[in-house]
Amino acid sequence: MLHGGLRCTRRKIELASVLLHPTRAMHGVITGRDVMQNVGIIYREFGVRCLARCLWVLAIGKRTTFLELITEF
């Protein structure tokens, strides 16, 4: 039980740091930097398929948003 609580707290801290990072503005389109900085969160929260789609979109150079990627499943 304690281990699960620590995992939940760590996840909330990670998500908060990503969402509340004060120096970056939201542009809508995902970048390679965004994916690489958040690869663990993407894998853990959305799965390997979503991560693979993010990497594929970056590899082919298509401009898209994260929301578009996760709703195409």
Distance of alpha carbon 37 from alpha carbon 54, whole angstroms: 13
Structure confidence at residue 10 (pLDDT): 75
Domain residue extents for the chain: 24-73
pLDDT number for residue 7: 61
Instruction: Kindly report the pTM of this predicted structure.
Output: 0.60
Q: Is there a contact between 30 and 57 (Cβ–Cβ < 8 Å)?
A: yes
* Alpha carbons 50 and 48: distance in angstroms, whole number: 5
Taking only the tens of pLDDT, the chain with its 73 residues reads: 445 555 667 777 776 666 655 555 556 788 888 899 999 999 999 999 999 999 999 999 988 888 888 887 5
Measured CA to CA, the distance from residue 48 to residue 27 in angstroms comes to: 24
Q: Tell me the helices (H) and strands (E) count for the chain, helix number first.
A: 5, 0
pLDDT of 3 reads 52
pLDDT given for residue 31 in this prediction: 87
